[in-house]
Each structure stands twice: as C-alpha cells, then as structure tokens.
Chains A and B, each alone.
Chain A
Amino acid sequence: MTAKTTVSGVAFDAQGDRNDTDRRDAAMQGFVRDFARTAAIHMESCVRCGMCATACQYYVTTGDPKYTPINKLRPFEQAYHRHVGPFAPLYRLLGIKSNVSIDMLQEWEALLYDACSLCGRCTLACPMGIDISELIKEARHGMYKAGLVPDRLELMDRTTKAWGSPATPADDFSDIIREAGEENGVPVNVDLPKADYVVTTAPAELTEHTKALTDVAKILNKIGASWTYSSAGFEASNIGYINGDVELQEKMTRKMIDNAIAVGAHTLILPECGHAYGAARWEASRWYGREIPLRIIHMTEFLGEVVQSGKIKLKKIGESTSFHDPCQLVRRGGVNDAPRAVLKALGLELKELEDHGALGWCCGGGGGVVSNTRADPLRFKAFELKRKQVEDANAQHFVTACGQCRITLTLGAKHFKWDQKVESLLELVADNLQD
C-alpha cells in the first residue's frame, strides 16, 4: 500500500501487487458482472446537459467541472459500451470503444471515492432520471476488484473482514454494550437467544456516540419490548456497500439477517446510520437472494412509530430546531415524515433549511468520504454549503438522524471553529422521555 500520483498529479492508492493489465481487467470484470437492466438503461440515457453538476456539492463549492457527477462515470461508461451495451459486439469488433486504460482508472479513483458521497442529489436533478449515484456504486464494484480504493477505506474493509466490524472486534462487542449500560445506568440486553427486536449498530455508536447504545435501550425498555443486541450480527454499516466490495457486502448482510432470524426477531432496528439503511432496508434482499422474513427499520422509523402510536410520551422542549436530512434515509430512503413527526412531538419548532427533505444538501461525508482522510479538503469545501443554510435557518438546535452525518458536521464545525452542536434525534428522544 503506497500513495501514488497519476501523470496529472492526482493522488491515488493501489492495493496488492499486480500488473496494470490484470488490474484493469479485474476492474472491468467487477463492473460488468453485476450489470442489470436498470443500470444499462441509465448508462444509455445521458444527454450531456450538465444539470447534474448543479446538484453536486463538490462541483458547486469548487466550480471544478471534473466534479460533474456524470463525468465521474466516464471510464465505466466506456466499459459499459464495450462490454454490455447493445452495440458492444460491434464496438469490440470495430474497435470503436477502446478498452479503458489503467491510467484512466487511477485518475478516476479520487472522483469515485473522494468526490462522491453517493448522496444521489444528482439523480433528482437529472432530467432523464438517471440514477447516477447508483451507477457510481456499480463503478466502485470494479474499482474494488482492481484494488484501486483509498487506503483508509480498504483498511476498514480488511478490519471488517477480520473483526466483523470496522470499529471493534466482535469479541469485544458485548463488553462495550455492558460498559455503556453501566456507565449510563441503563439496563441492556446483549446476546439473548430469543427476542422480538434485534438492535444493530454502526461504528459511530461503538466509538464516539456510545450513549446512543443505551439511548435505544432506554426506549425499548420503556415500551417493555423483548429486545437484544447480538455479537453474532451487530454491524449494520456495511463497508462493503460503500467500498464496492460485493463479497463483503453479501457476507455482512447475511450475517446480520441470519442472526436476526436465529433470534426469532420480528423487527431488526438499524442504527442512526444512512448507508446502513440503504444497504439493509433496500439492498439486503438482493444479496440475501430472497425476501427477508422480518421487518428492517431505521432507528428514525422506530422512533416515529413509538412516538406516533403513543407508546412513549415526550417532554416538550419548546425551542426551535433545524434538521439535516440524511441522504440515504430521506432522499434515497423515503423516510421524510418520521423525523419531522418526532421533532414535533418533542415540541421543537422546525425551521427548515433552504434545501431540505429530498432536496437537502449532503453533509459531504457520506459514501465513505468522511473516513477517507485524503478527501478532507474537499469535504470541508462542501461543508460550507451546509453551514450557510444552517446559519440562515437560525434555529436553536441542529438535529440529524445519522451518526456519520453527525460526525461529518461536527468535524466541519470544529475545522471552521463554528460553534454549532449537532444533535442526534435518538438522543433527544431518549433524554426527553416522560415517566
């Protein structure tokens, strides 16, 4: 693992010791093998109007045209036309679409990983309705196969393979839960053989936001649910989904689902994590191979349920707040109303950001960007957008429902010495439970 730069001076990382042709071929294989109908339609449909640029925080804040979302797909568009498209045999025969070069792949590594948070705002801007962020995810499948992934992300990948989580060895999981329970004075359940609810976690909870582990316990205890954490299937963040490591994505999905089935749960609660929602709620069945016999819901949906059904009563905070919509949860997940209902139940007056809901700007750190330290300068540029809208909203609180967003926004605030606390919706609920 060594940091290198391309001819044009762009930094890239490469893993493994392979010759360029092998690497390139591996990228093409990884990319081509998963290609299905919808992705193909979208690869065919671009009219090069440039509207997607106006939707991307990395383009808007830098003005650099290379950050135009559709441009990030260039090598893979070429590969698609050479290998999958309807005219592919013709192109190969006539040599019209040449094979992608390794230089091009190296050059594009930063565009695919550092300059895309998979937030999908471009999808909403595209007049052709091309789901660009989904295609970038497909492209990452190829990049991972080629060993052209930012080292920090690859490190998380290897850690997850070894430990079952990028944050902690699975063996330590039950200890972390119990410690958090003791520290916060909340009874916790871990590794119960049977339970109705299985609660999962993301790295953020296991490292920086350990209070979240007991916040959810507090609520579940309050409603008298039968629930548990499980060392055998606790990790929901699914780094494979982000890195493009489909084998790992499948493995992590199966592990989590198989455990929940073994426990006999009717509901699996995902942590306050955006990509966990995308990976588990919408993609799990694709990797699991069949319909999943239990309900998978996000923490925010769970909060919405218990608040709206009246199972828990909340104290009214009676102040104003703005809300950062996590992309995978709201724009790409459709959970728009639940967080707003919970905020209302908390008696918080919601001052919406100028762009909110499905159209909200990304925190800039999703899709692995926040873990990829190489991307820090770009991420901080993107942060300026969010900061301005939060300041313009001029509310007393600033709440979100995704641990990664929260870390990204907190890091941004710290970097710019901006005095703005970023709060968790779960924490607000747990802290304001009525007895």
Chain B
Amino acid sequence: MRHDETLAAEMQRRGVSRRAFLKYASYVASLMALPPSAAEALAEGLAAARRQSVIWLSFQECTGCTESITRSHSPTLENLMFDFISLDYHHTLMAVSGQAAEQARLEAMAANKGKYIVVVDGSVPTKDGGVYSTIAGISNLKMLEETLRDAFAVVAVGSCACFGGIPAAKPNPTGAVAISELAGGKPLINISGCPPIPEAMTGVLSYVLSFGKLPELDHLGRPKAFFGETIHDRCYRRPYYERGLFADGFDDHGARQGYCLYKLGCKGPVTYNACATLKWNGGVSFPIQSGHGCLGCSEPDFWDQGGFYRPLPTPLGAMGPALAGAAVAGAALGVGAALAARSHQKTYLAASEKEKD
C-alpha cells in the first residue's frame, strides 16, 4: 500500500468486505462510547483516511505496553499496522536494526512532516543530561525533542509515559518524567495503565485516524471513553462492598465467596480504567475477577501509594513517630502551661498582698 492511497481502496484491493469494515467501525464506536450515528462517520473517516505514519518511541519501559498491544484481539495488531497505519519505527518490532533503523525514523519524519503521530511508551530520564537511557547513542530526552518537533500529535502509552510510572517511583534516581512534561504543547493523549488495555490503544488510534482530532479527554489527558469511570463503579463485586461483605484475607471464607477486596487494599474506588468492563485477554478476566485487588496502575504515582495491600482509607504516612513526638511535645507544653499559670497566680497573689499592706 502506498501512502497516498486511501484505506478504502486498499481494503477493496485486499477483498475486505464493506460489511466487515462497518462491523469494526461500530465496535470501535461503541468502545469509545460514541453515539450510534458516529459508527458510520467513523467508518467513512477510516475509509477516506490515508495511511498514517506512526513513530513508536520506547524509553524507560519494560516492553509490557508493546506486549499488551500485540495482544489486542480486535482489531489485531497486524490489521492495525498493515491496514490502518504505517508503523515506520518501533525498535522492538522492526526488522532492521542499528543505523538503518534510525534512518527509517528520520525518513518517516521528513516524509510526513507535521502529519506523523508519535507514540511513546516509557518515561524519560532527565537527570544528568538524560544519560540514563540512550538509543543509538542518542539520549531519550534528545530523541523525543527531535521527533516531536514535526509531529502532529503524541500518544503516551502506559503509566510510565503518562505519569512517570515505576522509573519515577521514589526516589526516582534517574529524574524520570512523564511525556506531558516534555511535549512542548503538542496535542497529547495519555493512555495510562501498566500496561494499558489493548483496545484502549487501538480504539484511540482508530478514532484519531478517522476523525483527525483527539477524542474527549479527562483532566489527566486520558480519553474519557476508557477512563471515565472507576473500576469500583463497574466492578461485579460492588454489591458486596455496599452490603459490608469483605474478604479479610486471600484465602478466607470471604475470598472464596468472592466478596469485595476493599480491605485487602483494592484501589478500584480511585482508579479510572475500563478493566471491569473490557477485561483482558480477549475479555476473559481482570485482576479482581481472579481474586486480587486493583493496584490502581492507571493512576499517577500508583507505585507510591503506601503499598498495594494497604487499604484505601488508611493514612499514607508513618504516623507512629510523628504522634509519639506530638504526644511528648503536647504533654510538655501542658506542664509548662500549668507551671506558667501557677507562677502567674503567684505574681498576682503577691500583687494583691502588696495592695493589702
């Protein structure tokens, strides 16, 4: 397929039926919570779209996000890559390596100036000039700056790219930051999660492709279609929470009954993601369904929220020493105040004795 050919023409050439194409469009539309009429608009947008150049940059990351997107069940990555986008650079997936790989990136940037989309997974180390992560001898910091210059938009994929993630966890030795801090005003979509749900990634890309604009985003730059509700709100165990039925351990009666995992540190109530509805592995299950509380991985600083098994309502700080100190200080002040009052009384008494004389 050539870059100037529309997707419709390409698909016709491959023998994809219009019916199959509409089916996919309506699936994406429903994922993104678009109105039914939008399915057709989406289909038409996609049909008229030209192949989109995508440059995928992987920085301080674990490749989990790539692993996740390769497991997207509909549309499959193959479909997405070969039908809808031109993945011009992805150093994990591309066949070429070394100088040739970097050359491909630079060529794509030149050929699609102002039109290409940059997808980033991983955070960017900024400390010590960004020496802690380099690709082909170029620091992540520099590569991002260079690649973003002529990009149309940037999509941060995964919690590291969105919020700094695990590399930015305390004490953040590399000075890792989120892409949003370095995006320099480029349109940005955050698709958080560790990793993000594959459908969230493909759905958002499809949307951008067909409508040529960003979907509606929340205050953290995440598409509301996937991050509009909490895990807790959509959790099938929610009724147990309301009834006050909880698992107190991972192997107790409550756990076997499938009661709410709130007491075991589930972060579902404050985690916005679609796990409870879209689920994972082709809709098979999600963490809570398999008996473990939500870690809150799609939220900022999820790694530093006091521990995965610490229940949500418990304080985050180490209260003990602070309270012991406060108790000692308070008691000392109390004794001091009583002594001051005594001496004040004596002064007053002396004054009134004098008056009597």
A and B touch in the complex (CB under 8 A): yes
Whether B340 contacts A32 by the Cβ 8 Å rule is: no
Task: Enumerate chain B residues within 8 angstroms of A145, measured Cβ to Cβ.
Answer: 352
List residues 17-33 of chain A with CB under 8 A from any CB of chain B.
Answer: 25-26, 28-30, 32-33
A51 within 8 Å of B (CB atoms): no
CA separation between A95 and B349, bound complex, in Å? Answer: 23
Whether A30 contacts B341 by the Cβ 8 Å rule is: no
CA separation between A86 and B355, bound complex, in Å? Answer: 27
Whether B351 contacts A89 by the Cβ 8 Å rule is: no
Report A34-47 CB contacts with B as 1/0, cut-off 8 Å. Answer: 01000000000000
Task: Enumerate chain B residues within 8 angstroms of A32, measured Cβ to Cβ.
Answer: 344-345, 348
CA separation between A52 and B352, bound complex, in Å? Answer: 33
Report B314-357 CB contacts with A as 1/0, cut-off 8 Å. Answer: 00000000000000000001100110110011001101100110
CA separation between A400 and B344, bound complex, in Å? Answer: 45
- Which B residues are closer than 8 A to A by beta carbons? 333-334, 337-338, 340-341, 344-345, 348-349, 351-352, 355-356
A87 within 8 Å of B (CB atoms): yes
Given A33-B349, A87-B337, A89-B337; A26-B355 close (CB under 8 Å): yes
Whether B344 contacts A84 by the Cβ 8 Å rule is: yes
Whether B351 contacts A86 by the Cβ 8 Å rule is: no
A88 within 8 Å of B (CB atoms): yes
CA separation between A181 and B308, bound complex, in Å? Answer: 94
Whether A88 contacts B337 by the Cβ 8 Å rule is: yes
Whether A84 contacts B334 by the Cβ 8 Å rule is: no
Whether A33 contacts B345 by the Cβ 8 Å rule is: yes
**Distance (whole angstroms) from the CB of B341 to the closest CB of chain A:** 5
**Distance (whole angstroms) from the CB of A162 to the closest CB of chain B:** 18
Whether A35 contacts B334 by the Cβ 8 Å rule is: no
**Distance (whole angstroms) from the CB of B299 to the closest CB of chain A:** 42
A406 within 8 Å of B (CB atoms): no
CA separation between A84 and B338, bound complex, in Å? Answer: 8
Closest partner residue, chain A, to B351 (CB atom): A29
Q: Of the candidates A25, A26, A88, which one forms a contact with B344 in the assembled complex, judged by CB atoms under 8 Å apart?
A: A88
Task: Enumerate chain A residues within 8 angstroms of B355, measured Cβ to Cβ.
Answer: 26, 29
Whether B352 contacts A86 by the Cβ 8 Å rule is: no
Whether A86 contacts B344 by the Cβ 8 Å rule is: no
B contact face: mostly helix, strand, loop, or mixed:
helix
Whether B352 contacts A29 by the Cβ 8 Å rule is: yes
Task: Enumerate chain A residues within 8 angstroms of B340, measured Cβ to Cβ.
Answer: 88-89
Closest partner residue, chain A, to B338 (CB atom): A86
Report A79-97 CB contacts with B as 1/0, cut-off 8 Å. Answer: 0000111111100000000
**Distance (whole angstroms) from the CB of A81 to the closest CB of chain B:** 11
**Distance (whole angstroms) from the CB of A252 to the closest CB of chain B:** 17
Closest partner residue, chain B, to A33 (CB atom): B349
Task: Enumerate chain A residues within 8 angstroms of B348, measured Cβ to Cβ.
Answer: 28-29, 32-33, 83
CA separation between A103 and B14, bound complex, in Å? Answer: 99
Q: Of the candidates B333, B341, B351, which one forms a contact with A84 in the assembled complex, judged by CB atoms under 8 Å apart?
A: B341
Q: A29-B355, A86-B333 are in contact. List 20 more A-B contacts (CB 8 A).
A: A25-B351, A28-B348, A29-B348, A29-B351, A29-B352, A32-B345, A32-B348, A33-B352, A35-B341, A35-B345, A83-B348, A84-B341, A84-B345, A86-B337, A86-B338, A86-B341, A87-B337, A88-B337, A88-B344, A145-B352
Task: Enumerate chain A residues within 8 angstroms of B334, measured Cβ to Cβ.
Answer: 86
Task: Enumerate chain B residues within 8 angstroms of A247, measured Cβ to Cβ.
Answer: 356
Task: Enumerate chain A residues within 8 angstroms of B356, measured Cβ to Cβ.
Answer: 247
Total A residues in contact with B, Cβ cutoff 8 Å: 17
Task: Enumerate chain A residues within 8 angstroms of B349, measured Cβ to Cβ.
Answer: 29, 33
**Distance (whole angstroms) from the CB of B161 to the closest CB of chain A:** 51
CA separation between A67 and B193, bound complex, in Å? Answer: 67
Whether B341 contacts A83 by the Cβ 8 Å rule is: yes
CA separation between A87 and B340, bound complex, in Å? Answer: 10
CA separation between A33 and B351, bound complex, in Å? Answer: 10
Return 19 A-B CB contacts under 8 Å, by A number: A25-B351, A26-B352, A28-B348, A29-B348, A29-B349, A29-B355, A33-B348, A33-B349, A33-B352, A35-B341, A83-B348, A84-B344, A85-B337, A86-B334, A87-B337, A88-B337, A88-B344, A89-B337, A89-B340
CA separation between A88 and B352, bound complex, in Å? Answer: 20
Top 5 nearest A-B pairs by Cβ distance? A86-B337, A29-B352, A29-B348, A33-B349, A84-B341
List residues 26-79 of chain A with CB under 8 A from any CB of chain B.
Answer: 26, 28-30, 32-33, 35
CA separation between A35 and B333, bound complex, in Å? Answer: 19
**Distance (whole angstroms) from the CB of A41 to the closest CB of chain B:** 12
Task: Enumerate chain A residues within 8 angstroms of B337, measured Cβ to Cβ.
Answer: 85-89
Task: Enumerate chain B residues within 8 angstroms of A87, measured Cβ to Cβ.
Answer: 337
CA separation between A361 and B84, bound complex, in Å? Answer: 93
CA separation between A176 and B340, bound complex, in Å? Answer: 52
Task: Enumerate chain B residues within 8 angstroms of A88, measured Cβ to Cβ.
Answer: 337, 340-341, 344
Task: Enumerate chain A residues within 8 angstroms of B344, measured Cβ to Cβ.
Answer: 32, 83-84, 88
**Distance (whole angstroms) from the CB of A72 to the closest CB of chain B:** 22
CA separation between A87 and B333, bound complex, in Å? Answer: 9
Whether A30 contacts B352 by the Cβ 8 Å rule is: yes
Report A243-263 CB contacts with B as 1/0, cut-off 8 Å. Answer: 000010000000000000000
CA separation between A141 and B340, bound complex, in Å? Answer: 21
Closest partner residue, chain B, to A84 (CB atom): B341
Task: Enumerate chain A residues within 8 angstroms of B345, measured Cβ to Cβ.
Answer: 32-33, 35, 84
CA separation between A88 and B341, bound complex, in Å? Answer: 8
CA separation between A86 and B337, bound complex, in Å? Answer: 5
**Distance (whole angstroms) from the CB of B21 to the closest CB of chain A:** 73
Task: Enumerate chain A residues within 8 angstroms of B341, measured Cβ to Cβ.
Answer: 35, 83-86, 88
Q: Which of B333, B334, B351, B352 has the most chain A CB within a 10 Å cutoff?
A: B352
Report A358-371 CB contacts with B as 1/0, cut-off 8 Å. Answer: 00000000000000
**Distance (whole angstroms) from the CB of B337 to the closest CB of chain A:** 4
Task: Enumerate chain B residues within 8 angstroms of A29, measured Cβ to Cβ.
Answer: 348-349, 351-352, 355
